[in-house]
């Protein structure tokens, strides 16, 4: 029998791509709001071909599909981390955080998605969506 | 505003609260200014108008841009993109170009969604008209002459890229009335333009029949009050470190 030169490879140990994590959260928002709001993840065109990027929009179908950008990410195409997470501060300006691994990304993502500013946006869009129906 | 009978006033990074601003704008003013319809207030970009506020349908707020479908009671519908892009203090030229690429794509996506390209981009782009972030086909593809813009598009790397017309090119320097730019920055660096035009309008070819360069101005006065200091640069302590631009689109 030939010697295994591949080392330890496990199909169950693969990392979850950040875009998959974002898409899961997008699905959850639709469920949590009874589809009054949706969220979608779109690819970002990157001028640096070594990197990939995505952004997450909240969409209000009842408001003619109004879109509000919540955050965006970009990371090396091959190694995924470190990842840049871009999001809005309470003052409306954009800021960035660098996440060195998946744990840090999920922790920061939770902080952003459950932030006061994002919750205000969600509450406002739900209220305005309900008012139109 | 009264002096120029402005229908739509777009302000970037205005720290005056809306109530105070509206009280001032509406003093002895008819028709009155109101705040354009917005689902989520954008503290970086404010739009005031004498048109019915519902004339502005919010399409989206992405990055540092507010996308609105402007439907005046009479006239053509246009896609209005009000922007306040990141400053050179916080981003390199390359980062600015990258963000412009992204915004350029969003513009095209909204145009596809709405079904026309009567699009106007206006605001503080924090780049000069000649920078890659404005000129590159992958960004705004904004050219300096109507003649080129009216070719509508060109093929770059196998993809059709639509033009914007950037009339601000024509307002640099001393050969036109008004200030030589909208923003002055003096430094000890080797390359220093001194005057920059960061505040711009970009117009799609399909809107060009409604636009005349004669009605585009960099304002350096409000009534009898100058917006410039003694050295001739924008007086930040009186108004702003940027000079406003005024234009007419006869839709």
Q: How far is A104 from chain B (nearest CA, A)?
A: 23
Instruction: State which residues of chain B have pLDDT below 70.
Output: 1-2
pLDDT tier at A47, thresholds 50, 70, 90: low
Which pTM does this prediction carry? 0.90
Query: Which pLDDT score is estimated for A7?
Result: 87
CA-based nearest residue to B19, from B6, B41, B35, B32: B35
**Interface test mutation site (partner B, options A54, A74, A92, A116, max chain B beta carbons within 10 A):** A92
pLDDT tier at A13, thresholds 50, 70, 90: low
CA-based nearest residue to B81, from B40, B18, B109, B123: B123
Q: How far is A5 from chain B (nearest CA, A)?
A: 42
Q: How far is B87 from chain A (nearest CA, A)?
A: 11
* Mean pLDDT, rounded, for A63-69: 95
* β pairing state of B45-49 and B8-12: antiparallel
Cis peptide before A82 (omega within 30 of 0): yes
Query: Which pLDDT score is estimated for A86?
Result: 92
- Rounded Cα gap, residues A46 and A56, in angstroms: 16
Is pLDDT of A92 > 80? no
Contact A69 B61 (CB under 8 A): yes
The answer to whether B43 faces chain A, any CB pair under 8 Å, is yes
Q: Which positions in chain A touch B61 (Cβ < 8 Å)?
A: 67-69
* pLDDT top residue among A120 and B97: A120
Contact A57 B138 (CB under 8 A): no
The H-assigned helical ranges of chain A are: 18-32, 102-113, 116-132
CB nearest A66 (choices: B59, B94, B98): B59
ipTM of the complex: 0.84
């Amino acid at each position: 029998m030939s010697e295994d030169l591949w080392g330890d490879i496990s199909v169950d140990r693969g990392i979850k791509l950040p875009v998959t994590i974002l898409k899961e959260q997008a699905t959850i928002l639709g469920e949590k709001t009874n589809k009054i709001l949706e969220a979608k993840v779109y690819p970002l065109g990157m001028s640096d071909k070594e990197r990939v990027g995505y952004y997450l929009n909240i969409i209000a179908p009842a408001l003619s599909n109004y879109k509000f950008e919540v955050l965006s990410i970009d990371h090396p195409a091959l190694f995924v981390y470190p990842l840049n997470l871009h999001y809005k501060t309470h003052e409306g300006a954009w800021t960035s955080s660098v996440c060195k691994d998946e744990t840090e990304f999920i922790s920061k993502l939770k902080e952003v998605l459950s932030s006061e500013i994002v919750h205000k946006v969600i509450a406002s869009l739900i209220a305005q969506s309900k008012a139109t129906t | 505003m009264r002096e120029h009978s402005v229908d739509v006033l777009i302000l970037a990074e205005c720290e005056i609260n809306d109530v105070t601003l509206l009280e001032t704008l509406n003093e002895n003013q008819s028709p009155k200014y109101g705040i354009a319809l917005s689902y989520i207030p954008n503290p970086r970009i404010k739009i005031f108008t004498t048109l019915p506020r519902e004339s502005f349908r919010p399409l989206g707020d992405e990055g540092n841009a507010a996308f609105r479908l402007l439907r005046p009671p009479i006239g053509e519908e246009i896609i209005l993109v009000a922007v306040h892009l990141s400053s050179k203090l916080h981003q390199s030229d390359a980062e600015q170009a990258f963000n412009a690429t992204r915004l350029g794509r969003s513009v095209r996506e909204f145009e596809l969604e709405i079904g026309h390209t009567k699009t106007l981009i206006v605001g503080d782009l924090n780049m000069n008209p000649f920078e890659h972030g404005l000129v590159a086909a992958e960004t705004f593809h904004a050219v300096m002459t109507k003649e080129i813009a009216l070719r509508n598009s060109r093929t770059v790397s196998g993809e059709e890229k639509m033009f914007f017309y950037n009339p601000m090119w024509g307002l640099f320097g001393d050969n036109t009335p008004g200030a030589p730019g909208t923003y002055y920055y003096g430094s000890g660096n080797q390359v220093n333009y001194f005057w920059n035009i960061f505040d711009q309008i970009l117009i799609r070819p399909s809107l060009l029949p409604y636009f005349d360069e004669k009605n585009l101005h960099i304002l350096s006065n409000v009534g009898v009050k100058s917006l410039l200091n003694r050295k001739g640069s924008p007086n930040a302590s009186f108004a702003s470190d940027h000079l406003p631009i005024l234009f007419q689109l006869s839709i």
